[in-house]
Amino acid sequence: MPRSSNKQKKLHIRKGDTIRVMTGNDRGKEGKVLRVYPDKERVIVEGVNVRVRHTRPNQLYPQGGRIQQEMAIHASNVMPLDGNGEPTRIGRKKIDDAETGRSRWVRIAATTGEELDS
């Protein structure tokens, strides 16, 4: 069922998470999420889906040439790792903050039940 009031897409992956690739050419590789694109449902992971890109000379690369760069993969192809280093599904739980009196949502690992958000 699509979201009715808040149209912002939610992903189970956040920047900085350690993940494992579950499908595709890089299956089994682990890495840190460098960037998340929620609107496209894609993530860029360190050392995963590395492609060669040809560039002209510019200030960053004065010689130009072939540059290896990580490309985005679909978020459904990765799973975050729990405290034991195993891939886990994600649940959400509302936590009441005693100091501020407000509640917030945190991500919970389905395997161990621990919080993934600090």
String of b and e for 80-111 (b: at least 16 CB within 10 Å)?
Answer: bbbeeeebbebeeeeeeeeeeeeeeeebbbee
Structure tokens given for 26: 């890089």
Phi, psi of 23 (to 5 degrees): -140, 165
Q: Which residue has the tokens 């993940």?
A: 19
- Give me the domains of the chain, ranges plus CATH numbers: 7-80 (2.30.30.30), 86-118 (no CATH)
pLDDT at 118 (0 to 100):
67
Closest CA to 86 of 111, 107, 108: 111
- pLDDT per residue as tens digits for the range 18-47: 999 999 999 999 999 999 999 999 999 999
- pLDDT per residue as tens digits for the range 51-105: 999 999 999 999 999 999 999 999 999 999 999 999 999 999 998 888 888 998 9
String of b and e for 41-51 (b: at least 16 CB within 10 Å)?
Answer: ebbbbeebbee
